[in-house]
Structure 1
Amino acid sequence: MARLAGKVAVITGGSSGIGAASARLFYKEGARVAVFARGEAELQRVVADFGENGLAIAGDVSRMADLDRLFNAVHDRFGRIDVLFANAGMNNPVDTVVDMSEEGYDRTFAVNAKGVYFTVQKAVPHLKDPASIILTSSVGHTKGWPGNTVYAATKAAIRAFARGMSGELVDRGVRVNVLSPGPTETDVFSPDDIPQEKLGEMKQGVIASLPVGRIAEPDEIARAALFLASDDSSFMLGSELAVDGGLTQL
């Protein structure tokens, strides 16, 4: 039997990478799926085969009006939410404490921390009891990588959100858990502002740090998200699931 049969899932950051892979997998497993991100065309491609069981809404998680529009649309189409995957995020400018701009700092926190927090807040009135909430953090919050400080701080905030939200929502049967991917083949590894030669060197350095000797594919992270979304993880609450090729474990 499909593991999400009859459920309604909302996925932010759903236009590419982990979010898009999760949307396709959740649909395959029986869910009706709403995806949300800034790119309208990319979102439409994700749900192209979903028919009436798919919904694409374009917007920015850091804008409250956009979140209201998302959840109103989901309510009008599907009536409730069983699974919320707050996956939208961005990589901060790779700047150190010496040269990080205020604009870069504010934008990273606006998307990665504020965006996740208020995505959950705006979804709460629409959640079915019980429901599963998944927050995407990163194993980066456990590491002291130069140039990664602001990003890591936002992902550490997400870990804290999950614990606090779990205590606040458990009486409704709402489970909040964290998915912390390791390095994954997403848009993070194809930025426009880094030469391909430099990018290749960076990737090889990342691969060398991973015990499994490779970067994850989005589908691998999506399967972990499916576990947290489904009743298979019914006894998990406030937990963090690291899917990182052993990076933080060995």
Structure 2
Amino acid sequence: MQKLAGKIALVTGGNSGIGLATAQLFAQEGAQVIITGRDQATLDSAAQTIGAGALAVRADVGRLADLDALFATVQAQFGRIDVLFVNAGIFMGASLEASTEALFDETFDVNVKGAFFTIQKAGSLLLEGASVVINASTLIHAGMPGAALYAASKAAVRQLARNLANELAPRGIRVNAISPGYTRTAIVGRAGYDSDQVEGFYAHTSGEVPLRRPARPEEIAKAVLFLASDDASYVVGEELLVDGGYANVGAAGVLRG
């Protein structure tokens, strides 16, 4: 039996990486899927990949006008949201010295402001029994040079999940967080690294993970599906680490130890 049969599922940043893998899995599990992204070409390609009548809406989650237009479209076409995966995010690595106000603003506008207002503006469409999953990161449990802004923004959305879970639970809406570990997606390359640097990054970080490899986006998607579905009907305010053991028994676990 399909876990999301008849559900309306919105995935922000659903045009690549973890978002696209999750959108595909949601569609396979019977959901009507809506995806967002900032690039129309990759959105169109992702919608074709997902199939099943997936709807692609161009929207920058850091722009409130874009969110208003997105949810007006969802309201007009579907009238509700059963599953909301707040996934859109960016990673731009920079040292303390190299970080700029512009980088700070962009990181927090997309990762934090975008997450908060996505949930706020979806509020009237989220009915009893709805599930909200926020994409955080295992890096909130450790330290990595050059990732201070990214990790701080993801720690903020983890706290959003805790507080909004408490606020929305009386309405029968579950809010949880997923914290992926190092995952092989395009996000590292988009941070400005060439292919050799990307491979070097994954080779280095894999040595810190007990399973000795990065995750595949499909592995993260299966965990998101669990939190989104009725299988997790009594799970609220949790953070599900999907990181190959990195935070608890790997390098981060040793540092916390």
* TM class by smaller structure: over 0.9
Q: For structure 1, which segment, 182-191 or 21-30, has the greater mean C-alpha deviation from structure 2 after superposition? A: 182-191
| Other-structure match for 1:30 | 30
Q: Partners in 2 of 1:63 and 1:91 — Cα distance?
A: 18
| Other-structure match for 1:112 | 111
| Other-structure match for 2:44 | 44
Q: Partners in 2 of 1:98 and 1:223 — Cα distance?
A: 38
Give the TM-score normalised by the residue count of structure 1. Answer: 0.96
CA deviations over 1:8-62 (Å, ceiling 9, x no partner):
0000010000000111110010000100011112122222266674211001000
| Other-structure match for 2:252 | none
Note the C-alpha offset of 1:167. 1.2
Whether the 8 Å CA contact 1:159–1:240 is kept in 2: the answer is: yes
Q: Partners in 1 of 2:18 and 2:39 — Cα distance?
A: 15
Whether the 8 Å CA contact 2:91–2:188 is kept in 1: the answer is: no
Whether the 8 Å CA contact 2:47–2:54 is kept in 1: the answer is: yes
Q: Partners in 2 of 1:155 and 1:11 — Cα distance?
A: 17
Alpha carbons of 1:52 and 1:147: their partners in 2 closer, same or farther (altered >3 Å)? closer
Give SS of 1:212's match.
Answer: coil
Q: Partners in 2 of 1:249 and 1:169 — Cα distance?
A: 29
Residues matched between the structures, number: 249
Instruction: State how 1:233-248 maps to structure 2 within 5 Å.
Output: 233-248=232-247
Q: Partners in 1 of 2:48 and 2:200 — Cα distance?
A: 36
In the alignment, structure 1 segments of 5+ residues that lack a partner are none
Give the TM-score normalised by the residue count of structure 2. Answer: 0.93
- Identity rate of aligned residues, in percent? 45
| Other-structure match for 1:9 | 9
Note the C-alpha offset of 1:130. 1.6
Q: Partners in 1 of 2:37 and 2:75 — Cα distance?
A: 18
Q: For structure 1, which segment, 201-210 or 169-178, has the greater mean C-alpha deviation from structure 2 after superposition? A: 201-210
Q: Partners in 1 of 2:191 and 2:12 — Cα distance?
A: 23
In the alignment, structure 2 segments of 5+ residues that lack a partner are 250-257
Letter in 2 for 1:101: T
Letter in 1 for 2:189: S
Alpha carbons of 1:60 and 1:142: their partners in 2 closer, same or farther (altered >3 Å)? same
Give SS of 1:248's match.
Answer: helix
1:89 equivalent to 2:63? Answer no
| Other-structure match for 1:181 | 180
CA deviations over 1:164-198 (Å, ceiling 9, x no partner):
10111111100000000001111123237323333
CA deviations over 1:214-250 (Å, ceiling 9, x no partner):
1111111000110011000111100000000000011
- RMSD (Å) for aligned C-alpha atoms: 1.4
Q: Partners in 2 of 1:68 and 1:192 — Cα distance?
A: 28
Letter in 1 for 2:218: D
Whether the 8 Å CA contact 2:182–2:243 is kept in 1: the answer is: yes
